[in-house]
Amino acid sequence: RLLVHSARQLALVTGAGGAAAAAGPLVGPAMHAIAVLESDAGLALVADESGRIEEFGNNTEIMKKWQDTSFDEVVDANGMCVIPGFIDAHTHPIWSGDRINEFIMKLEGATYMDIHKKGGGIYSTVRNTKNASDEELYVSLKSRLTRMMHAGTTVVECKSGYGLDVNSEIRLLKILQKAKEEHPLDISITFCGAHAIPEGMNSTEAVDAVVNDQIPAVKEMKQNGTLNVENIDVFCEKGVFNVEESRKILTAGKNIGLRVNFHGDELCALGSAEMGAQLNATAISHLEEISAEGIAAMANSGVVAVILPTTAFIMHLKPPPVRQLISHGVPVALGTDFNPNAYCLAMPLVMHLACIHLGMTVNEALVASTLNAAASLGRSATNGSIQKGKWADFVIVNAPRWEHIIYQYGAHSHLIYAVIKDGKVV
């Protein structure tokens, strides 16, 4: 059991007035109108033995009620704020090498797609990853996950995708599975074998390889219980997989029970959002170039838009139309997109960019980094807000108002007093 006491604010991230949010994302004005409890007299939270939230509220009442209980951990949060742990809805954390040279080339004017077409970008990371041992990949993965955790992340989506052939992709998925079993972070594994067209193949051959070699191998491991993979992804983009090819791959993934969660409408308006809505996707990421029809289609079928402010910022892309997505009722989530092209592990930086660069309010940025990101991974019934019965995942912010975690750009390592995952300080 865990007790956190004497906090000044609890940002519940439930609907206005503290009413329990439905087991789904918040949309439209509800993304802004979240409940935050505040009291100079102090607020407390209790987590039960299984790591779930048992109760929260007035300090004096809770301390009195639990005075005879011995807690495994007690956190004095005097004058601090408690918010739900962040949920990073989109990361590519398993690869080797770096892309510093390309970072420099891009500063000198090269574009992402120029570099990709010349065999750099994803291809250069695939080559480096092939040359790395399982142990090296595991060690670097774990250290990245730990850095995410110290920046307040408690649940993270992790993609494969730097293998591009059946054996290499399965190797990456196995290493992700090992991290899922051994690291305190809750990991949602995504199969992203269709991250690029392998060199020497055409797109038809690449789709065949994913659908006929890779997905059956993933299916077998999923069925025999050695791999807990939850989502299927594809890079649906001009020059990578087109809409019809992406549809085939996503459908094959869906048929083995994976949630559809993919990269769409990032560099070109292809109609990825419309296709995803037809497939009843759980989430679509990027969406810088989404059309008005795409926005309507996503709103209608309740697909979560995973917005990645680092990518638009680093690649000088058109900012994704977050205000339109929210005003049309699309649930918006945020992710770091951590990958060798966008080296950011920290959700507080992402929230700051989402506010300054994309026009989100601080409340919307928090919802998008907690409850709505949980929805993008099918976890909104169990994660993403401070509600009885949900996992006790919190960030304790050492400041008198929770918004400091967004306002003080780059200061999260000083502001985060503790991260709590499943009722334990991690």
Applying CB under 5 A, the residues found at the interface with Fe ion are 337
DSSP state of 52: B
> x-or-dash pattern for ligand NIG, window 80-109, by CB under 6 A?
------------x-----------------
Binding flag, residue 265, ligand NIG (CB under 6 A)? no
| Residue 102: both structure tokens together | 């390309």
Letter string b/e over residues 209-232, b meaning 16 or more CB atoms within 10 A of that residue's CB: bbbebbbebbbebbeeeebebbbb
Shortest CB 255 distance to Fe ion, Å = 23
Contact residue for ligand NIG among 106, 183, 263, 421 (CB under 6 A): 263
> x-or-dash pattern for ligand NIG, window 197-236, by CB under 6 A?
--------------------------------------x-
Q: Which of the choices ligand NIG, Fe ion, none does residue 341 contact, using the CB cut-off of 5 to 8 A by kind?
A: ligand NIG
| Residue 239: both structure tokens together | 């020059």
Contact 198, 116 (CB under 8 A): no
- 22: Cβ contacts below 8 Å, ≥ 6 apart: none
Nearer to ligand NIG, 121 or 423 (CB): 121
Per-position DSSP letters for 241-254, written without gaps between them: B-HHHHHHHHHHHH
Please give the distance of CA 237 from its chain centroid, rounded to a whole number.
21
Spatial distance between the Cα atoms of 403 and 397, rounded to a whole number of angstroms: 9
Q: Across-strand partners of 123? A: none
Shortest CB 403 distance to ligand NIG, Å = 28
Nearer to Fe ion, 54 or 102 (CB): 102
At residue 263, the 3 state secondary structure works out as strand
> Segment 284-343, which members bind ligand NIG (CB under 6 A)?
311, 337, 339-342
Shortest CB 347 distance to Fe ion, Å = 15
Q: Which of the choices Fe ion, ligand NIG, none does residue 279 contact, using the CB cut-off of 5 to 8 A by kind?
A: none
At residue 99, the 3 state secondary structure works out as coil
Q: Which of the choices Fe ion, ligand NIG, none does residue 186 contact, using the CB cut-off of 5 to 8 A by kind?
A: none
Nearer to ligand NIG, 145 or 307 (CB): 307
* Residues, the chain: 426
DSSP state of 168: H
Any idea what the Cα angle at residue 383 is, between residues 377 and 386, rounded to 5°? 150
> β-pairing, 36-47 with 2-11?
antiparallel
> Segment 112-151, which members bind ligand NIG (CB under 6 A)?
121-122, 125
- Backbone torsions φ then ψ of 154, nearest 5 degrees: -120, -20
- The residue at minimum Cβ distance from ligand NIG is 341
Nearer to ligand NIG, 342 or 373 (CB): 342
Shortest CB 357 distance to Fe ion, Å = 18
Q: Which of the choices Fe ion, ligand NIG, none does residue 235 contact, using the CB cut-off of 5 to 8 A by kind?
A: ligand NIG
Q: How many residues bind ligand NIG (CB under 6 A)?
A: 12
Shortest CB 32 distance to ligand NIG, Å = 27
| Residue 2: both structure tokens together | 């865990």
Q: Is 319 left (phi over 0), alpha (psi -120 to 50) or beta?
A: beta
Nearer to Fe ion, 170 or 287 (CB): 287
**3-class secondary structure for 270-282?**
CCHHHHHHHCCCC
Q: Which of the choices ligand NIG, Fe ion, none does residue 348 contact, using the CB cut-off of 5 to 8 A by kind?
A: none
Shortest CB 52 distance to ligand NIG, Å = 33
Interface with ligand NIG (CB under 6 A): 92, 121-122, 125, 235, 263, 311, 337, 339-342
